[in-house]
Amino acid sequence: MVDMLRYAVRGAAGFKGVVSNIGGKTGTTNDYVDGWFMGITPGLVVGTWVGGDDQWTRFLSLTNGQGSKMARPFFSEFIRQLEVQKVADFDPKAKYIVPAGPQTIITDCSQYSRPDVISEPKDTTKKKEGEDDFFE
């Protein structure tokens, strides 16, 4: 998971010169109203959000109205300031801790039965005796 998040920011605009071990994920809501970025380091998780309470305040296209354009720059600047100012207990050289041994979760998908998508839908509505179907 960490590798996927690290790959998402590798070479991304705005992270040049950042030495911290970072990763993250952008997000954009429908109609480009909100953009967000969730960033991680080995010792810190930061969420940045840019948007408006009024859904009509938004960008008109994905070009500027996406999380990577709106919210990610705030995260990169925040991390850059943590590295430069050294005012917090933040170690830019910290490494992610790799768990000892494999981390395996076995999922039994058979317990989640799924309706047969090929079969015809069944009418389960209850009808009063003598009531005709509306559509025949």
Span 54-99, pLDDT tens digits: 766 666 666 665 667 778 888 999 999 999 987 788 899 999 988 8
User: What pLDDT, on a 0 to 100 scale, did the predictor assign at position 102?
Assistant: 77
Counting Cβ atoms within 10 Å, is residue 59 exposed (0-12), middle (13-18) or buried (19+)?
middle
Cβ atoms of 47 and 37 closer than 8 Å: yes
Ramachandran angles phi, psi of 82, nearest 5°: -60, -40
CA–CA dist 51, 60 (Å, integer): 13
Instruction: Please compute the mean of the pLDDT values over residues 2-12 and round it to a whole number.
Output: 83
Q: What is the pTM of this model?
A: 0.66
pLDDT in tens, 104-119: 777 777 776 666 556 6
